[in-house]
Amino acid sequence: FAPAGNLLKREPPEFLASAFTEFGKWMDGWETRRKRIPGHDWCIIQLGVPGTIHGFDVDTSFFTGNYAPAASIQAACLDETPALALEGDRTGMAASEEQFEDLESERWEFLVPINELKPGHASSCHNYFPVTLSRRVTHLRLNMYPDGGIARLRVYGVGQRDWSSIRLRELVDLVALTNGGVCVGYSNAHFGHPRNMIGLGRAANMGDGWETARRLDRPWVLETDSQGILQVPGFEWAVFRLGHPGVISQIEIDTNHFKGNFPDSCKVEVCSLTAEEEEQCCMSRWSSGPAGGWRILLPPQKLKPHNRHFYSTDALWNCGAVSHVRLFIAPDGGVSRLRLWGQLATASSGGHLKPASKLTAENALSNV
């Protein structure tokens, strides 16, 4: 009735009472036919960002008399496996046994054993399953028992890259979600979460970036300094853990789509933290700060609307190997993307081991 690709839509599910297709009722999710043969239904999902998984949300929204009664989830790491995508939305179709005969997905490790699901009413549609898994995952197998509908699958975790494949002195976006970057703290996310800044590609619109509320401590009459930077008492901030400690040599701050609501200026600070120190800072909402203090990487810079701003070694202060960064914007506004290019930290550069990954930013791996 409805293709499995709907499981990965970024938008919340919707219901159109009068919508029908040649195959039956149109549903905004994955719905299989009423099974009349042995077995159960399943689909394979390639994660948008390979990484470690911390939890799932199996959402049955609007599937009330036709939801899947139970589900389980299996996982595998298939870095060497070619793409498995089947073309088209495949409504009214099913994959043949030959298309998956070499995959042996039924043998994959179970992350979520068989669990009953709740119907898709607003009060019961979200079925949450916490997971503790330290190894990297690239593919999932979602099983429904025996048939029915599931609207969305959300996979929460932290991206993880195979760092052994990086060449010596190769520049890498150290904060990218795909490389394991995580937002671990922020001051305000009224219109958009700062984790959006480390997502894939350029932002699709303002909603695909970080945007704060307007600060109420703004002066009624604004003034600037000799560099044209507004003199305001307040600012907003976001803290990120790098996917791997490194030496940052290039920064990109993109205000794409933010035309009348871009920040006036920005600043970037850095530090090095262990996992225990990060946890203490998170518990204090970063009010106590790191033991060694923050160091300025990029001094205050005037920003422009709807523009990509690039800063290289000429503008950056040499801070050596770091594990965390803090972006300041003043007084408020929106930034669509943050890129921090650098080289991986080594023993000679003063780097230390990467803190143990933990879910502090609810990064969704399945719908990136």
pLDDT tens per residue, range 175-212: 999 999 999 999 999 999 999 999 999 999 999 999 99
pLDDT for 364 beyond 50? no
Find out whether 197 and 213 touch, Cβ atoms under 8 Å.
Answer: no
Per cent of the chain over pLDDT 70 is: 91
pLDDT value of position 23: 87
Q: Which one has a higher pLDDT value, 102 or 348? A: 102
User: Tens digit of pLDDT for each residue in 325-360?
Assistant: 999 999 999 999 999 999 998 755 544 444 444 444
Q: Whole-number mean pLDDT of the chain? A: 90
Confidence of residue 104 (pLDDT cuts 50, 70, 90): confident
Reported residue count of the chain is 368
pLDDT for 159 beyond 50? yes
Average pLDDT in the 287-299 region? Answer: 89
The tokens describing 70, both together, are 């139970």
This prediction's pTM: 0.81
